[in-house]
């Protein structure tokens, strides 16, 4: 009986400490910043943060998909964001993008989770 109570207490303590650890890791984990020009095929699958100037912006209203082309130091990269209701971005604006690098039809792109004006 005493061993069962001890086992239950230790289990609860372990669960609480584990959840607290996961919380702190998620709050303080930094997403890697990669310059737009340095993103390459070896980065596919990584969640990164980058920035660039919008050279093209289009919202497909039927699919609620935002398409941006970013430029930085002569390098271009496409950014796609799903479930967007309105296009808040214009050509010439500088933005910060957080998302996963992927390959679509042989070209690199970022599937954005977050786009912010700088």
Candidate from 18-27, 43-52, 92-101 with smallest mean pLDDT: 18-27
CATH code linked to domain 32-117: 2.40.50.140
Residue with tokens 């957080």: 98
Dump strand ranges (E) for 1-118: 32-33, 47-60, 65-72, 75-81, 94-104, 107-117
The β-bridge relationship of strands 32-33 and 47-60 is parallel
pLDDT for residue 1: 65
Is pLDDT of 112 > 90? yes
Domains of the chain, by residue range, sit at 1-30, 32-117
């Amino acid at each position: 009986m005493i061993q069962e109570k001890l086992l239950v207490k230790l289990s609860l303590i372990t669960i609480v400490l584990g959840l607290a650890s996961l919380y702190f890791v998620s709050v303080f984990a930094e997403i890697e910043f990669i310059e737009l020009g340095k993103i390459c095929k070896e980065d596919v699958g990584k969640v990164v943060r980058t920035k660039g100037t919008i050279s093209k912006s289009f919202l497909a209203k039927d699919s609620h998909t935002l398409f941006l082309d970013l430029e930085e130091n002569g390098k271009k990269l496409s950014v796609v964001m799903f479930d967007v209701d309105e296009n808040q971005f214009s050509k010439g604006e500088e933005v910060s993008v957080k998302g996963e690098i992927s390959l679509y039809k042989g070209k690199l792109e970022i599937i954005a989770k977050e786009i912010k004006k700088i």
